[in-house]
Amino acid sequence: MSVNGAPAREAPPGRWVPWLVIGLWLVLAAVMVPLSGKLSSVTTDRAVDTLPAGAESTKVAVLEDSLPGGEDNTFVFVYHRAGGLTGADRATVERHYDAFAKQYPPKVPAPAGEDDEGPPTRPSTDGQAMMFTLDVSTTYGAPETIVGPLRDAAKDRPAGLELEVTGPAAIDGDLDAVFDGIDLQVFLTTVIVVTLLLILTYRSPVLWFIPLVAVGAAALTAMATVYLLVKGFGIVVNDQNSALLTILVFGVGTDYALLLIARYREALHHHENVRVAMVHALRGAAPAIVASAATVVAGLLCLLVADLNSTSGLGPIGAAGILCALVAMLTLFPAMLVVLGRRVFWPAIPRFSTAVQEKPGLWGRLGTAISRRRWVATLGSLGVLGVLAIGLTGNTGALREQDQFLNAPESVTGFTVLRQHFPELGGQPMTIFTRPAYQERVLDIVKGTPGVAVAVPGGTSGGWADISVFPTDAPDTVAEYDTIKRMRTAVHAVNGAEAIVGGPSAENLDTEVTTSRDEKLVIPLVLAVVLIILGLLLRAIVAPLILMATVIVSFAAAFGGSVFVFDTILGFKGVDYSVPLLAFLFLVALGVDYNIFLASRAREETVRLGTRDGMLKALSATGGVITSAGLVLAATFAVLATLPLVMLIEVGFLVAFGVLLDALLVRSVLVPALTLLIGRRMWWPSRLSRPVEPPDRRRPLVEDEEPALQR
């Protein structure tokens, strides 16, 4: 409506609305903050919780846990002296074993005849080492609480007699020690990184603090929400997923803040009332932000079809984090900005009615250059991505559990010593359960299996008999996995025995196999879901296909470049089995984000300016803010690279590198160049793809002369 031809002024929302929103968040915080601190109490890294119930090693772990005394933690003590063991050394080893066996008695009595297998302490053939295995029931505590006291108690030994306490339980204990306090470390490091980036971005003593408070509120709410999901639905949360939750919320939430602030600052030049300006900012930014969040949430929820519990659990965990970030940045954050008014931007306060001169700027000049050299920009970008993808020919083999540590702990060096002095006992102990009546038969079959060094019958309890097995090959190697497969095939052939093979290496094998199966299911599903969302958002078919193709090529380049760094520069022994799927999910979902921000703005401008000018206008308008968002998101994932665990370093580096590649090359050069090459057909089959009747009907309309389209 208008009065006397003048446009009617838009009525601002009530002054009470922002205060109401802030008040509701304060009430929510009072409820959720206490719950957020409980998340660490429900995290678990036990294989029985992580692996699917149908995995054979899971069945072994469940059976061990159900027997009297619970599951065993297996420790291996390796004593050695370079010049050869003395009599006092051997006596010390025997004394230590007797003391530990008395302190941690077996959960069930040893069967008759076990002594025929030899004494519990075992000397090496070179005379320089002795070893024994100690099974400690979980009723005595978790590995991280036991391994320290065991090492301390064994310090009473002759000078020069070295000892490494290793074995599956010792590795678990050392791994748990890495994760101790990791949530707080990730949270604080992320806060510091985001704070520095916001200060550098806005160069304001106040503005940086507002998004940080809003994102912090979202993170605490997300942690509380995940805690409630675990308690209500039994979702599996491990330490890795807990750390990723913090990274996701801070990275994505800060991105949303940067996009909204850019629109809000723009609106403040044209609207005197800050509440009206915020409404216009939300109208402009919210659709792209919601579409971005929907894409990431949909991609994460695709993980629900995964068999690996830790992978499927990341789906709702990550989705809860993204939704909390979305709600906080579209409610609490705008409310805080409105309450503080224009002065929050000091010293660069945007003034109403200030003549805003549009300058070409860096991104405008880049767009002009791309427009003039479209083929050069396209082929050059693809060339860079192709060179990086060559890195995929490097070492992409699975990373062994012992190689996860950035600095090898005692449990890892102990396996090296064990293989040096006991080459016949190179692998981790395994456990086989069988029905008691078939124990001897199964034992004979296992002893005859290639790759098995020692097989010892264990106790009988609850209708089951167990057999302890030492393979000859190093843990988590192809040779050891082949031995496990041969054993399983052999013992499964014994009708009525119901024999099952488990243990740490078997769990790692089952995890690797399950992850490989999950990749084949999840990756195509993620691609399909993201493609559908892009199609609905852009109301086109060609543009979503082009954007998805660029993201896939970008992922291959990021993965290849990262493998080169891992293998050649950092000297990692492989890529953790979980990294490809996690990196693909994050880079596809998050990488598409920047293309969504660019393409949605390009479509909006195309309606007014045509495809060519619309894309150039979109690149000029969004270049700075999307680049800033990419830097922030990359920096938050790079926080993972500061942790002393190879898997987290690989995920953090790969995602950070991929995000930068998407933000600086794919979104900035490749997508604009492809759009300019394809022209209005980019928007096929929407009406934007159809040629417009030119004013001069005597000659056809060329792409660069495409007139503005009216709504």
Q: Where are the domains of the chain?
A: 17-50+204-349, 66-177, 384-393+514-689, 410-508
- Distance from C-alpha of 154 to C-alpha of 700, rounded to nearest angstrom: 89
- Distance from C-alpha of 262 to C-alpha of 285, rounded to nearest angstrom: 9
Nearest residue to 468 (alpha-carbon basis) of 501, 429, 426, 423 = 429
**Cα–chain center distance at 342:** 38
Exposed, middle or buried, 672 (CB in 10 Å: 0-12/13-18/19+)?
Answer: buried
- Distance from C-alpha of 485 to C-alpha of 501, rounded to nearest angstrom: 9
Exposed, middle or buried, 48 (CB in 10 Å: 0-12/13-18/19+)?
Answer: buried
| pLDDT value of position 703 | 44
State the DSSP code for 386.
Answer: H
The CATH class given to the 410-508 domain equals: alpha beta
E strand residue ranges, 128-233:
129-137, 162-166
Nearest residue to 593 (alpha-carbon basis) of 210, 198, 213, 248 = 248
Q: Is 84 left (phi over 0), alpha (psi -120 to 50) or beta?
A: left
- Distance from C-alpha of 492 to C-alpha of 500, rounded to nearest angstrom: 7
Q: Which CATH superfamily is domain 66-177 in?
A: ACT-like. Chain A, domain 2 (3.30.70.1150)
Reported as type and span, the H/E element at residue 31 is helix 16-36
Label the pairing between strands 72-80 and 162-166.
Answer: antiparallel
* Contact of 418 with 131, CB cutoff 8 Å: yes
- Distance from C-alpha of 619 to C-alpha of 493, rounded to nearest angstrom: 65
| pLDDT value of position 55 | 86
SS3 75: strand
Residue type, 209: F
Reported as type and span, the H/E element at residue 264 is helix 239-268
State the DSSP code for 74.
Answer: E
Residue type, 593: D
SS3 2: strand
Beta bridge partners of 471: 452
Exposed, middle or buried, 199 (CB in 10 Å: 0-12/13-18/19+)?
Answer: middle
| pLDDT value of position 284 | 80
Residues 6+ apart with CB under 8 A from 416: none
Residues 6+ apart with CB under 8 A from 699: none
Could you report how far apart the first and last alpha carbons of the chain are, in Å? 19
| pLDDT value of position 482 | 93
Fold of 17-50+204-349: Multidrug efflux transporter AcrB transmembrane fold (1.20.1640)
E strand residue ranges, 546-624:
none
One-character DSSP codes across 620-653:
HHHHHHHHHHHHHHHHHHHGGGGSSBHHHHHHHH
- Distance from C-alpha of 547 to C-alpha of 545, rounded to nearest angstrom: 6
Query: Which residue is associated with the tokens 């060519």?
Result: 612
Angle in degrees, CA 62, 243, 241, rounded to 5: 35
- Distance from C-alpha of 90 to C-alpha of 114, rounded to nearest angstrom: 22
- Distance from C-alpha of 511 to C-alpha of 517, rounded to nearest angstrom: 10
- Distance from C-alpha of 246 to C-alpha of 234, rounded to nearest angstrom: 20
**Residues 136, 141, 142, 143, Cα dihedral to 10°:** -40
Q: Split the chain (711 residues) into runs of 10 and give each run's mean pLDDT.
A: 47 79 91 84 74 84 74 86 91 92 70 52 90 84 85 89 89 79 76 82 80 90 91 82 86 86 83 84 84 87 87 89 93 90 78 60 81 89 92 83 81 86 78 92 92 86 86 86 93 92 88 88 89 84 87 91 91 87 84 77 79 82 80 84 85 90 86 85 76 49 43 36
| pLDDT value of position 107 | 57
Q: Both tokens of residue 64?
A: 């061990």
Residues 6+ apart with CB under 8 A from 570: 649
Q: Do domains 384-393+514-689 and 410-508 have the same CATH topology?
A: no
Residues 6+ apart with CB under 8 A from 586: 637, 655, 658
* Contact of 495 with 39, CB cutoff 8 Å: no
| pLDDT value of position 476 | 82
At 160, give phi and psi (nearest 5°): 95, -15
Q: Kindly give the residue spans of alpha helices, DSSP state H, lying in 341-477.
A: 361-372, 374-389, 410-421, 439-447
| pLDDT value of position 355 | 52
- Distance from C-alpha of 161 to C-alpha of 82, rounded to nearest angstrom: 9
671-678 helix and 542-564 helix, angle to the nearest 10 degrees: 150
Sheet containing 452-461: order of strands = 452-461, 464-471, 430-434, 500-502
Nearest residue to 159 (alpha-carbon basis) of 101, 76, 82 = 82
* Contact of 274 with 350, CB cutoff 8 Å: no
Q: What is the C-alpha R_g of the chain?
A: 31
Query: Which residue is associated with the tokens 């078919």?
Result: 541
| pLDDT value of position 485 | 94
Angle in degrees, CA 199, 203, 205, rounded to 5: 75
At 379, give phi and psi (nearest 5°): -70, -35
- Distance from C-alpha of 421 to C-alpha of 131, rounded to nearest angstrom: 10
Per CATH, the number for 384-393+514-689 is 1.20.1640.10
Beta bridge partners of 166: 76
